Amino acid sequence: MIIPPFLQAGDKVGVLSTSNFTEQEYIDKLVEILKEWKLEPVLGQTVGPRSGSFAGPDELRQKDLQHMLDNPELKAVLQTMGGYGILRIIDKVNFNQFKYQPKWLVGYSDTTFLHSHVQGMLGTASIHATMAADLEAGYQASSWESLRKALFGEELKYTVKPHPLNRLGSSEGTLVGGTTSVLCNAKGTISEVNTNGKILFLEEVGEHKFRLDSYLTSMKKAQKFEYVKGLVVGHLIDIEEDEPPFGKTPEEIVLDAVKEYDFPVCFGFPAGHGKINKALILGAFVQLNVTEEGSTLAFST
């Protein structure tokens, strides 16, 4: 796996949205944070425009991403918002320049498409982490500090409290994953995630329980769990009850989907759509250790 160069003070970083529109006040807060890190933010053409729910029309969002991927002065590209939109443009993006001059791509939610695309097609690591839109809920200092550490190549190791549904064990491998629904929708495309021999991270937000179950069942039928070496489950937020009730908690739905496999499972990892969203370097080699006292996830880059 290719690890892009870590950042240094004075580096330029791009800020854009290839998905949904982001309010300017949160862009301004992000700019402040980047300047505190002694980075030079470069705002894209998708900062400001709005077309329905999108940050401008498809053509503009595609061109903005293309420009930032090709710009040799930028050392990272940070998404400002998730939602929906990358799927509509990603097949029109040319990654030839990025292939030879990789840079950090940062975001989560809909950015899962971008993460799985560059890992599967180009073997390049990227960062699943908080975005400008999250600043609407307040400055989550620990989330942003973890992103800073990931970008600057500092040590990343997380400790997670024990969970009653955890499945104990130790494993190691490359970390992949993201939002479950997005990974499911990417099946059969060039952005499809490769889980073979990997540690898989999953999280989800705003779905009914039966839909969460359907995404996991679809992934199972596609053998996405067949050769997984470990599972890290992040936030499962606003998972709505069905009528009649589904009969399981969101965590139990996940565990049921992987019950026939023997890899370790860590629940309650603080990443995803929750208030705390710790940075994860997807494509990096990690060690997962799940014990009765809790779990650890350590990165090697």
Per the domain annotation, does 101 fall within a domain?
Answer: yes
pLDDT band at 64 (very low <50, low <70, confident <90, very high): very high
pLDDT tens profile 103-145:
999 999 999 999 999 998 899 999 999 999 999 876 789 999 9
Ramachandran class of 62: left when φ > 0, alpha when ψ lies in -120 to 50, beta otherwise: alpha
* pLDDT band, very low/low/confident/very high, at 301 (cuts 50, 70, 90): confident
Domain containing 125 equals: 12-152
Grade residue 200 by pLDDT with cuts at 50, 70 and 90. Answer: very high
Domain boundary residue among 97, 120, 152?
A: 152
The residue-averaged pLDDT of 163-172 equals 98
Residue 143: CATH number of its domain? 3.40.50.10740
Among candidate residues 178, 179, 174, 214, the one with its CA nearest the CA of residue 197: 174
What percent of the chain stands above pLDDT 90? 94
* 167 in the same domain as 95: no
Domain containing 178 — which CATH number? 3.50.30.60
- Separation between Cα atoms, residue 275 and residue 134, nearest integer Å: 8
pLDDT tens per residue across span 242-298: 899 999 999 999 999 999 999 999 999 999 999 999 999 999 999 999 999 999 999
Last residue of a domain, one of 152, 178, 213: 152
201 contacts 269 by C-beta, under 8 angstroms: yes
At residue 139, the pLDDT reads 72
pTM (two decimals): 0.97
Residue that is last in its domain, among 131, 152, 173 = 152
Q: What pLDDT is stored for residue 136 in this prediction?
A: 81
Are 19 and 140 members of one domain?
A: yes
